[in-house]
Structure 1
């Protein structure tokens, strides 16, 4: 059975936020809050009939309005226009209408709760889709890294084999050079003896 929805309000950044949700926890999750704003005193259950009607018309959807304003809550709100601290504008000083029996109508709440659950499932599907896309991207990057690492390892092995072959050739040439030097020293001695004998 769908849980009865309540309307919750808070302020985050440039906006006041409101949502119809079955619990404070669900509201915090929908707002993307990483701490309990209710315990901190910056979020509350709303008793403003206008806010309740707006959220119950779109349960599970985070509605916004410029922070500190009395503008109606909407899914897409404009940024505040008085952030620079200019001259204060006249504000609507009407008192918020208190919730009436109409706002507590069970049928309306059941309908709103079902709509909230539908919106929550849609958010969960979107999160799962985003996570799947992130996982696919991680796997693609890992595949590229593995391929590049494999090419580097193969290149290193080829270099080491070639360097070892060149080293063998160097050692063989050095040995040949030593042999040639020894042969020459021996032959030079013989030829110098022959030269001395010829000079008599």
Structure 2
């Protein structure tokens, strides 16, 4: 007799569903000689008996943990979740102040300063590594902290006495530019304005002539309409007289 479903490599969990049990029985049937069968009890245990196949399966045991994730799943979730980037403190010069900001990247620092240019590439901004200088910025991430460089007197003293590139020739040009210049001539402008006034007067005369002619035509039209009415009225009176005479003659003719 041949024992199946036992051994260190098999725990019986393959029979936790009806489909898996059927598949297991079919595999065992194919591996046995003709006329043999499988019978047994327990978790997947069986004895070879001729003529029939009997399979007993074990019900699935509910998980007492429910839907609670395992410790391994929690470790995987922690590895998959992105870690927030560490804040760094950057500094740039703004007038007589140093502008500090705590940001995760140089790009974020430029956005906080409102600069569209790469100040780091130009050497106008840098990373602050001194903890004492970075303390205030780290206390308010994303906020620009301005710190004055020296006193007002020191700042004024640091200003250059003369702008760079200033020479005697440029000074002479500035002095000449400061001299009063003669007032520009507006003769050409006055001439055009005179022509405009003249044209306006001519146009007004032309419009007045048209208005006069329109008034004459209107009076002529009214006179014509009145005359036409008088002529029509006279003809209608003659027609009425002729109709009455005709009606009288027809009556006499009919007797």
TM-score by length of 2: 0.32
In terms of fraction of residues, the more helix-rich structure is 1
